[in-house]
């Protein structure tokens, strides 16, 4: 390799690092109430320093930039904390559309396994999947055709609070086959049929920052 070629490679690598640091990747974080969305935002913003959160998120907060550093790799992501109650589901749509969300993290916990009558998360998931797969968006009471670049690149379904429920349920094999994901399989299949891959992941957003950062990095690198 010539000296000039080596110089060009080094410059290109440094430019790539600078681009990843400056350019923010838009992530949308959605899910039912109290699944840990706000906790995830805190973990991204102040790694390892997550306060006890007492109040539910109201509406949609301003999107903030967060720098992800792991294994020498640096990326900047941008997320907004959005409420999970039914009245705020339309805010998810606005967030996806106005910020041109590239990756979606849909957070769940084990409430549907602990209380089988609790289907809040399944309803949230169905709404999100149907919205993404619909050829139309609702905006200002008007219907308009969704363009191909409006679709997210990938959707991650993150089973949060793993540290709390990992020993409650019998499971053998890979974590992606854990029964916690079972009620969401039809929605995953619908997204895959639409050309949007799904990424199953387990995480402890409050107690394990490494899991959070690796999950973000995996979505960026693999999709």
Question: What are 135-148's pLDDT values in tens digits?
Answer: 765 444 345 455 55
CA nearest neighbour of 159 among 178, 139, 142: 178
Identify the band that residue 129 occupies on the pLDDT scale cut at 50, 70 and 90.
Answer: very high
Instruction: Tell me how far the alpha carbon of residue 153 is from its chain's centroid.
Output: 11
13 has pLDDT over 90 = no
Identify the band that residue 58 occupies on the pLDDT scale cut at 50, 70 and 90.
Answer: low
182 has pLDDT over 70 = yes
CA nearest neighbour of 76 among 220, 222, 197, 208: 220
Q: Which fold has domain 23-222?
A: Rossmann fold (3.40.50)
Residue 51 CB contacts under 8 Å (≥ 6 apart), including other chains? 42
What is the reported pLDDT for 150?
58
11 has pLDDT over 60 = no
180 with 121: CB under 8 angstroms?
no
- Residue ranges covered by each domain of the chain: 23-222
Phi-psi label, residue 104: left if phi above 0, alpha if psi -120 to 50, beta otherwise = beta
């Amino acid at each position: 390799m010539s000296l000039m070629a080596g110089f060009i490679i080094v410059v290109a690598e440094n430019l790539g690092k600078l681009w990843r640091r400056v350019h923010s990747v838009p992530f949308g974080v959605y899910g039912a109430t109290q699944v840990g969305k706000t906790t995830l935002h805190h973990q991204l913003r102040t790694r390892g320093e997550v306060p006890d959160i007492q109040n539910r998120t109201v509406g949609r907060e301003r999107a903030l930039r967060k720098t992800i550093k792991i294994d020498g790799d640096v990326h900047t992501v941008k997320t907004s904390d959005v409420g999970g109650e039914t009245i705020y589901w339309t805010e998810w749509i606005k967030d996806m559309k106005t910020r041109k969300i590239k990756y979606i993290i849909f957070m769940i916990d084990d409430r549907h396994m602990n209380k089988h009558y609790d289907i809040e998360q399944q309803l949230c998931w169905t709404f999100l999947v149907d919205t993404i797969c619909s050829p139309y968006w609702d905006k200002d009471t008007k219907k308009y055709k969704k363009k191909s670049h409006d679709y997210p690149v990938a959707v991650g379904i993150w089973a949060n609070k793993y540290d709390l429920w990992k020993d409650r349920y019998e499971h053998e094999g890979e974590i992606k086959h854990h029964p916690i994901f079972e009620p969401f399989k039809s929605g995953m299949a619908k997204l895959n049929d639409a050309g949007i891959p799904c990424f199953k992941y387990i995480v402890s957003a409050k107690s394990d920052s490494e899991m959070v950062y690796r999950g973000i990095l995996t979505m960026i690198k693999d999709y």
